[in-house]
Chain A
Amino acid sequence: MQAAFLEQLKTDYLGIDYDVIFKSIDYLDKPNNEEWIPEWGKIEDALNNGLSLVYSGTEKDAKKVLTDANAEVQKILDEYWATHK
């Protein structure tokens, strides 16, 4: 029945990679799929700061926001790996 349903979906909705959808079911109980990232809390705050800079209109240069956020995240990770080898 599942196989027939999948075949019907593939016929009705072309061009969709159904593997992605079905395999994502494995992660339903892990809503935060980046949880394995070291220093996730710090990185989340760094990224949210980038968004806040854009939303508040403080920084209008998107490339600068991304570059700064990237540098900050990289620094956090470098510091983490320096002490967790």
Chain B
Amino acid sequence: MSFSTGKRTLSLARREALWAYAFIAPWTVGFLIFTIGPMLASLFFSFTDYNIIDSPRWIGMTNYVNLFHDDLFWHALGVTFKFAVIALPLGMVFSYTIAVLLNSKIKGINIWRTLYFLPSVIAGVAVALLWGRIFDPKFGILNPFLEKFGIQGPGWLSDPQWAITALVIMSLWGVGGNVIIYLAGLQGVPTDLYDAAKVDGATGWQRFRYVTLPMTTPVIFYNLVLGLIGTFQYFTEVYVLTNGAGGPARSTLFYNLYLYQNAFKYFHMGYASTMAWVLFIIVLGLTLLIFRSSELWVYYEGQIKGK
């Protein structure tokens, strides 16, 4: 065994560090220019009156004060929360159930897994156009299908009472990404735990309740955090389906859509930047809340409680 001198080791370490910096430089430069730069710029714009054409004019906290007096801001926030409250838990349960089913030993399992994952690789615009056709009350396939069961289908995207429901249904179709993550989590559960539970006389439900579910809580937690962020960033589908208007009767005026309208339709860039930062604070707050609550319900194998 040979030991290098202190000087040589330092030189090697420095060389390695330089190589490391060189390799991470493309990402770091991109992150600084395209993420941190625009974030800081939007923070500055949020304190200005800026319409793209004229120079930004400093107005202090006016945008923030106006935002809280804006009826449409509260409406858009309400629509987003309503969607989140319905779509997020439903999507989580739906994708988890499919993952559990796809984790069983059935014939052609790989084909089933591919079929369920396939919709999630389709771009949001294509999905929206596709579902727009499906939901069409006159020419779509959903309402004639419901009629076969004697159900008079609603005007899914033309009735304010049903528009959010239609978007929730559409979001459930694209849960394939979550299913794959759950599936990976389910396959990581040690089989000896199931064997031990069987020896103890646990039923199928008890094995699921006391082995599968606790062991997959870190994956559930991961999907919950990403799902929450994704729900509050919901934009593409609703923009395409409503031509950017958030109709009918503003029933689908999501927060991000209203933000987009302010930025690129009304050219209130300062106000839109304020909305972006308020959204960031809301999502950050909710994410921290989930992180704090995770101590109560997320179980990590090998974790020593209290450490």
Distance, CA A41 to CA B258, complexed state (A)? 12
- Whether B49 sits at the interface, judged by CB under 8 Å, is yes
Distance, CA A59 to CA B160, complexed state (A)? 11
- Whether A77 sits at the interface, judged by CB under 8 Å, is no
Residues from chain B with Cβ under 8 Å of A56 in the complex:
155, 158-160, 247-249
The answer on a CB contact under 8 Å between B249 and A41 is: no
- Whether B291 sits at the interface, judged by CB under 8 Å, is no
If A41-B261, A58-B160, A83-B49 touch, whether A52 touches B266 (CB-CB below 8 Å) is no
Least CB distance from A69 to B in Å reads 12
Closest to B161 in A: A58
Pick from B155, B159, B265: contact of A41, CB below 8 A.
B265
Closest to B247 in A: A52
Distance, CA A55 to CA B158, complexed state (A)? 9
The answer on a CB contact under 8 Å between B249 and A49 is: yes
- Whether A7 sits at the interface, judged by CB under 8 Å, is no
Distance, CA A49 to CA B75, complexed state (A)? 13
- Whether A78 sits at the interface, judged by CB under 8 Å, is no
Least CB distance from B235 to A in Å reads 17
Least CB distance from A28 to B in Å reads 25
The answer on a CB contact under 8 Å between B245 and A48 is: yes
If A39-B266, A42-B266, A58-B160 touch, whether A52 touches B261 (CB-CB below 8 Å) is no
Residues from chain B with Cβ under 8 Å of A55 in the complex:
158, 248
The answer on a CB contact under 8 Å between B266 and A49 is: no
Distance, CA A45 to CA B159, complexed state (A)? 18
Closest to A83 in B: B49
Residues from chain A with Cβ under 8 Å of B267 in the complex:
41
Residues from chain A with Cβ under 8 Å of B248 in the complex:
52, 55-56, 58
Which parts of B82-96 form the interface with A (CB within 8 Å)? none
Give the most central of B245, B248, B267: most A CB within 10 Å. B248
The answer on a CB contact under 8 Å between B249 and A52 is: yes
The answer on a CB contact under 8 Å between A48 and B247 is: yes
Residues from chain A with Cβ under 8 Å of B113 in the complex:
none
Distance, CA A39 to CA B160, complexed state (A)? 26
Which parts of A10-48 form the interface with B (CB within 8 Å)? 39, 41-42, 45, 48
The answer on a CB contact under 8 Å between B266 and A41 is: yes
If A39-B266, A41-B266 touch, whether A49 touches B160 (CB-CB below 8 Å) is no
Give the most central of B247, B265, B267: most A CB within 10 Å. B247
Closest to A48 in B: B245
Residues from chain A with Cβ under 8 Å of B207 in the complex:
none
Residues from chain A with Cβ under 8 Å of B160 in the complex:
56, 58
Per-position contact with B for A51-63: 1 when CB-CB < 8 Å, else 0? 0110111110000
Which parts of B244-284 form the interface with A (CB within 8 Å)? 245, 247-250, 261, 265-267
Residue positions of A touching B, CB distance < 8 A = 39, 41-42, 45, 48-49, 52-53, 55-59, 83
Given known contacts A45-B265, A58-B248, A83-B49, what 5 new A-B pairs fall within 8 Å (CB)? A41-B265, A45-B245, A53-B249, A55-B248, A58-B249
User: Could you show 17 A-B contacts with beta carbons less than 8 Å apart?
Assistant: A41-B267, A45-B245, A45-B265, A49-B247, A52-B245, A52-B248, A55-B248, A56-B155, A56-B158, A56-B159, A56-B160, A56-B248, A56-B249, A58-B160, A58-B248, A58-B249, A59-B249
Residue positions of B touching A, CB distance < 8 A = 49, 155, 158-160, 245, 247-250, 261, 265-267
Q: Which 9 A-B pairs have the closest CB atoms?
A: A56-B248, A41-B265, A41-B266, A52-B249, A52-B247, A53-B249, A58-B249, A52-B248, A56-B249
